[in-house]
Structure 1
Amino acid sequence: MDFIQQLNLGTTAEMSLIFAVVFCITQALKTTVLNNKWLPWISMIVGVFAGLLAAIINADSHYLSSAVLGLLIGGFTSGLFDGFKGFSTNKEDKNNGL
């Protein structure tokens, strides 16, 4: 997130709001029959809309930067799922085919 803050695309409140929205929606979509290979793309699209929503809620007039902020957070959020997935399975489970 420090990378995003250095770009000066939004405030910490906007980033937190976007992250919460993207995380919740992506988690909800994981329980559907939707193929999980599409989740990173969907996460980024949801991030764009969440960024625009955050700009409207915070009365920010920089819609493009908020949309880019949402896109980046959506991408980081989908990468976060892969990172947690790697931590949730230990080496013995991988060797046993679980």
Structure 2
Amino acid sequence: MILEQAVLDVLPGSEVEFEWAFGEARSLISASPGFRGLELLRCLETPSRYLLLVRWETLEDHTVGFRQGPAYARWSALLHKFYSPFPVVEHYESALSTSSSVV
């Protein structure tokens, strides 16, 4: 599994509109082959900053399947106008995993 990570700095004052647009855009990405799930987290210290985490089966499911697919144009139209600066997207794979159990 691949984890896509992007810090999204949204134009201050447009957070509500961004969250609405992201709700609309979510169906576009979730319909993409290889999509395994996402989380959109809002920063407590900087309320106009979000962390997007998307799980993909393979790197190519994101970089080719989604980004070069037909839904990406609509995704871009809905969301890209909110970013300043434009986010850097990075991809991660597991190097070490640990879990804790509560007894």
Q: Output the TM-score relative to the length of structure 2.
A: 0.28
Q: Output the TM-score relative to the length of structure 1.
A: 0.29
Higher RCO (CA-CA < 8 Å; seq separation 6+)? 2
State which structure, 1 or 2, has the greater radius of gyration over its C-alpha atoms: 1
Q: Could you say which structure has the higher helix fraction? A: 1
Q: Could you say which structure has the higher strand fraction? A: 2
